[in-house]
Amino acid sequence: MELSDTYDYFIKLDADMVFDDPKMVEKMLSVFTQAPDLDHAIFSIRDWYAQMNVFGLHMFSNRAKWSESKDHIFVDHHPNCPGDRKVFEQTPAPVAIHNPNPTLEFAWTFGLHRALKVVQRDRWKKQVGSAENHFKLLKRIYNINKTDSDPRRVAVIHGAEAAFSNGTKCLKEKSHLTSKAADEISKVDHIYLKQTYALKWEGLIYYYRLTRHILMYKYLLLKPIQFVRKLKKLLR
């Protein structure tokens, strides 16, 4: 933000994302020049593990401002923007390839980190929608692995298993995850995702969502004003 007066736009290109079109930055820039009120664009990218489009790559105008966040799991919080925020699933998206050629260690860390976003052990109030999306991604990788058994996808599954099996309770920062991967990667060849753990967390996601709907229903019947306030908080 200190350089916001020097640059007009900021692209958040993660280390595991690669542009496959030399003109992609130009195409993304045109999205902003055609919409002067646009401050935050979220583009889909093509994930190699899951062989599907996911979100995403973010681009901002220099009007975007971030507040400090201490969240170790969901680290990419949205900035405050005076203008518009828009999601792009189609052209020019997908704008990059996600994890085109990961190492086994990186794949293991990816699986663990995604699964930690499912279990969310460090918080009482769960981000249910996010947990559900990350679980669906891991489940898709698991199903693809049934047919091709690529060692990198096996590593993702093994990393997810480490979180689902309650073995990573104290791992909250990425640096800890990376050091753990170096110790665990030798087990990748013979570790598989146990259905008991996967089904447990799939059931818990359903339970969290059902509980949230019951709370909304109770507030709607008994306290309509409080219900509206509660709904606004849940949707933040």
pLDDT at res. 52: 94
Q: Which residues does residue 46 pair with via DSSP β-bridges, in sequence order?
A: 53, 97
**Which pLDDT score, from 0 to 100, does residue 84 have?**
93
Q: What is the pLDDT of residue 31?
A: 94
- Do 104 and 155 contact (CB within 8 A), yes or no? yes
Residue 65 and residue 3: Cα distance in Å, rounded? 12
Per-residue pLDDT of the chain (236 residues; tens, 9 = 90+): 566 677 889 999 998 999 989 999 999 999 999 999 999 999 999 999 999 999 989 999 989 887 777 766 666 777 888 889 999 998 898 999 999 999 888 898 898 888 888 887 767 777 777 888 888 898 899 889 888 878 899 888 888 887 777 655 545 555 566 666 666 666 655 444 455 555 555 665 555 555 554 444 444 444 444 444 544 554 44
pLDDT given for residue 214 in this prediction: 43
Torsion over CA: 106, 109, 114, 115 (sign) = positive
Structure tokens at 206: 């359903």
Predicted local confidence at residue 68, as pLDDT: 76
Give me the pLDDT at residue 217, please.
43
Say what the pTM is: 0.73
